[in-house]
């Protein structure tokens, strides 16, 4: 029986050429796997037919938009997942769901190998291959661009020579990856980190310099998940799509960052994530109202490690699963409403309300009705500062007290 390879298929030049390229290099039949995670663009049926026309023996197409939103975007939201405190893991969280369908297709069509179109310099090669190993340790992996020397020049020549149904004359200056959670843009003139992004870099967001009238929105959460916008019930996918539209119209969610890739390279990336950034802003503020102080402090540490693991391709790792359990527990009381104003590139919280709020007006107020007994404060401060007081006294005994003449106090 002829061996089979399942290929993560985008419908573009490189993966279209990879179908025949893999077959010629390995002698295997290729099954193309296209997964819709809300990237927009071409109709998936067109993509499926193109895969077959390019030589795939089977074409597996999955509409994973709701699955991606509910099972990948929502955990990222609940974890306030931001790599380097800025990048909302746009590409990183899409790779595990794509790999899940690659493995499913491999089992369905009897394949022994999976393939992807990543280079040897990026993060995605790690994400694809580690996720594959985690779900199906028996499957092998091949990367045509990295392992089989498939350059863009060779891809164009191959496509023209075989008359493949794919455009080869136009070369977008950027490398773009997008899904419903956001859009990532790199390469081209952006590789000079002094160059300012031009208007054609952006697609999900309008220029915030000249915004339309401010847009006020109320986001309702249950257990850390948005369930309504302005009182209208929404699914996770609908919440992201609608916030993409409304926040995007105000230029919210533009990110220009030099980040540390897993392979050790610093890379300049432009991200657009209007829905993700607006929802994370709302979610963080609702947590400020509903999480206990020490719980919230520790969660910030967990969030950073969670984002690093996901960025580094460890979605299915034991530690990531353990951190998920902690995050899930923290979301028990993260329910309520957040009012935000979207305007001029910013999502600004202007109101909060929650039945599970830890905010007590009678304790917080300085006016009449104050229920806080201020007489307790003196004793609290004495005990709280006792250790520092003892250490300072020791420093004085040994001549290491504060030198007031050096201005270091």
Give the annotated binding-site residues for L-citrulline: 87, 123, 127, 175, 259, 271
CB atoms within 10 A of CB 384: 11
From the candidates 124, 246, 254, 346, which is the catalytic residue?
124
Collapsed DSSP state (helix, strand, coil) of residue 153: helix
Round to whole Å and give the CA distance between 279 and 408.
42
From the candidates 49, 66, 140, 175, which is the catalytic residue?
175
Beta strands in 83-193 (DSSP E): 113-115, 140-142, 175-179, 182-186
Q: Are 64 and 40 in contact (CB under 8 A)?
A: no
Structure tokens at 84: 């380097």
332 as an active site residue: the answer is no
261 as an active site residue: the answer is no
124 as an active site residue: the answer is yes
Q: Are 274 and 253 in contact (CB under 8 A)?
A: yes
Collapsed DSSP state (helix, strand, coil) of residue 226: strand
Round to whole Å and give the CA distance between 253 and 86.
10
Binding residues: 8-16, 87, 117, 119, 123-124, 127, 175, 259, 271
Q: Any residues with CB less than 8 A from the CB of 88 and at least 6 apart, and which? A: 76, 81, 82, 181, 182, 255, 271, 273, 276, 277, 280
Collapsed DSSP state (helix, strand, coil) of residue 15: helix
Alpha-carbon separation of residue 54 from 104, 130, 399 (angstroms): 22, 28, 80
Q: Are 340 and 282 in contact (CB under 8 A)?
A: yes
Round to whole Å and give the CA distance between 102 and 60.
9
CB atoms within 10 A of CB 373: 8
Rg (CA), the chain: 26
Binding residues for ATP: 8-16, 117
Write b or e for each residue in 46-74: b if 16 or more Cβ atoms lie within 10 A of its Cβ, otherwise e.
ebbebbeebbbbbbbbbebbebbbeebbb
Binding residues for L-aspartate: 119, 123-124
Nearest to 18 by CA among 124, 230, 162, 195: 162
| The Cα angle at residue 190 between residues 189 and 193, in degrees rounded to 5 | 115
From the candidates 4, 14, 48, 254, which is the catalytic residue?
14
256 as an active site residue: the answer is no
From the candidates 4, 50, 78, 95, which is the catalytic residue?
95
Q: Catalytic site residues?
A: 14, 95, 124, 175
């Amino acid at each position: 029986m002829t061996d089979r390879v399942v290929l993560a298929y985008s419908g573009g030049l490189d993966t279209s050429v990879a179908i025949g390229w893999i077959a010629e290099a390995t002698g295997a039949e290729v099954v193309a796997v296209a997964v819709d995670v809300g990237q927009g663009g071409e109709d998936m049926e067109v993509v499926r037919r193109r895969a077959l026309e390019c030589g795939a023996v089977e074409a597996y197409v999955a509409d994973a938009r709701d699955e991606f939103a509910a099972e990948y975007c929502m955990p990222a939201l609940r974890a306030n997942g931001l790599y380097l405190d800025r990048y909302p893991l746009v590409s990183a969280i899409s790779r595990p769901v794509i790999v899940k369908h690659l493995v499913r297709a491999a089992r369905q069509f009897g394949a022994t190998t999976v393939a992807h179109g990543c280079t040897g310099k990026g993060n995605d090669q790690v994400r694809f291959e580690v996720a594959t190993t985690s779900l199906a340790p028996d499957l092998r992996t091949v990367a045509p661009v990295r392992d089989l020397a498939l350059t863009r020049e060779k891809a164009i020549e191959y496509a023209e020579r075989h008359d493949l149904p794919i455009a080869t004359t136009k070369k977008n200056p950027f490398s773009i990856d997008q899904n419903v959670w956001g859009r990532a843009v790199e390469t081209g003139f952006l590789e000079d980190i002094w160059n300012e992004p031009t208007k054609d870099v952006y697609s999900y967001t309008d220029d915030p310099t000249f915004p339309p009238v401010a847009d006020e929105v109320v986001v309702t959460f249950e257990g850390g998940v948005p369930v309504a916008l302005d009182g209208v019930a929404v699914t996770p996918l609908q919440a992201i799509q609608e916030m993409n539209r409304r926040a995007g119209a105000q230029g919210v969610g533009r990110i220009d960052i030099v980040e540390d890739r897993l392979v050790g390279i610093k890379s300049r990336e432009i991200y657009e994530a209007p829905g993700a950034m607006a929802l994370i802003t709302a979610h963080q503020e609702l947590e400020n109202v509903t999480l206990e102080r020490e719980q919230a402090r520790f969660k910030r540490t967990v969030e950073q490690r969670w984002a690093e693991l996901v960025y580094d391709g460890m979605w299915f790792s034991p530690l990531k699963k353990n951190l998920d359990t902690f995050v899930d527990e923290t979301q028990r009381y993260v329910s309520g409403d957040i009012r935000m104003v979207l305007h001029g590139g910013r999502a600004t919280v202007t109101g909060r309300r929650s039945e599970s709020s830890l905010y007590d007006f009678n304790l917080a107020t300085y006016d009449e009705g104050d229920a806080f007994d201020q007489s307790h404060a003196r004793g609290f401060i004495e005990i709280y500062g006792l250790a520092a007081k003892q250490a300072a006294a020791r420093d004085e005994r040994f001549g290491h007290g504060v030198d007031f003449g050096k201005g270091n106090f």
